[in-house]
Amino acid sequence: MLVTMDRSNTIVRADLLVRDERIAEIGSNGQAADVVIDASGCAVIPGFVQTHIHLCQTLFRGAADDLALIDWLKQRVWPLEAAHSPASIAASARLGIAELIKGGTTCALTMETVNHTGEVFKVVEETGFRATVGKCMMDKGDEVPLALQEQTANSIDESLALLDEWHGRAGGRIRYCFAPRFAISCTRELLERVASLARARGVMVHTHASENTKECELVEKESGLRNVAYLDSLGLTGHHVALAHCVHLSDEEIEILRTSHTNVVHCPSSNMKLGSGIAPIKTLLEKGISVSLGADGAACNNRLDMFTEMRTAALLQKALHGPEVIPANRALRLATIDGA
């Protein structure tokens, strides 16, 4: 049973021929193959595409529980990220990718930590995984460990060096993205430079936005604008921008997302675990805004399973808006073609 996830949601009973790592044909033409997989009684679906992952946090699973976002970062995640060595971050990435592949995720958009992102790229290359990876950028913030404190110019230079080395490697399977952590850990100068460079170099921007009420309050206090509106004022919206979470949005911000064709990444399990809230996914979808799914890091989920995210995303919206919202085929689209 081939679940194609094409525009018509076509489902067919047929054989699938793969040649030179590409789907060559759908049908039953009796061609011989070097390897034959008997998938009778099974469904064959596209690989899942997770659009918000932190591979560097896989080793932190279970070590940062029962805390709200800002405390979770300051007390647990930032110190743990600061303690990473090249060997530990490679191990974390390898473990995370193994879990993703085992669960059917074949592609991810990831944000790593400030240091050693080159090690993550090496692991992506050797495992055969498909990923767009960004070095976390942080040139501002209170209670940030010394190892994560960056100078603006150095953060940009290191990001550009990784872009030059890795973007388009492995036949295009590996890509680079700019990954400023979020508005309260980045200076205006850094964010403006990222906006300009991303457009000039034709790469994505991957950041967090409007995840937690305290975060939103801090951004508004510093900038005079709500989170998404502030990013938009700096040029950090558009079809090449992915904003993780978007839990707390005003009507104006939803309109900004719609008109700018900015991508929203819904992380339902993470939002529940950190007590951040429930994103207005029904409204975003009704407005035609691009929405996809991510497990986030293992530190704020404790698993990287897309079946969990599909189920949770659908059930949360049903609890709020009724059982007809996000039926199974819509949830599967969020997890596959919408992420792609």
Residues in the chain predicted with pLDDT less than 50, given as ranges, are none
Distances (CA, A) of 38 to 2, 32, 44, 214, 337: 13, 13, 11, 52, 25
Question: What is the structure's pLDDT at 32?
Answer: 81
The Cα–Cα gap between 247 and 228 comes to 11
3-state secondary structure of 243: strand
The Cα–Cα gap between 293 and 37 comes to 29
Cβ burial 56-68 (10 Å sphere, 16+ → b, else e)? bbbbbbeebeebe
Distances (CA, A) of 266 to 122, 134, 244, 253, 260: 28, 19, 6, 16, 18
pLDDT in tens, 176-192: 999 999 999 999 999 99
Contact 81, 72 (CB under 8 A): no
What the block records as the tokens of 5 is 């996830």
pLDDT in tens, 251-294: 999 999 999 999 999 999 999 999 999 999 999 999 999 999 99
Contact 64, 299 (CB under 8 A): yes
Distances (CA, A) of 100 to 71, 108, 327: 27, 9, 24
Neighbours of 178 (CB within 10 A): 30
Neighbours of 272 (CB within 10 A): 15
Contact 103, 304 (CB under 8 A): yes
The Cα–Cα gap between 335 and 340 comes to 9
- Residue 325: alpha-carbon gap to chain centroid: 23
Cβ burial 215-228 (10 Å sphere, 16+ → b, else e)? bbebbeeebebbbb
Backbone angles phi, psi at 56, to 5 degrees: -65, -15
The Cα–Cα gap between 68 and 66 comes to 7
Residue ranges in 225-267 assigned as alpha helix (H): 227-233, 251-260
Domains in the chain: ranges and CATH: 1-45 (no CATH), 48-335 (3.20.20.140)
Which residues are 12's β-sheet partners? 2
Backbone angles phi, psi at 232, to 5 degrees: -65, -40
3-state secondary structure of 80: helix
Closest Cα to residue 136, out of 122, 149, 123? Answer: 149
> CA geometry: angle at 257 spanning 256 and 262, to 5°?
130
Question: What is the structure's pLDDT at 31?
Answer: 75
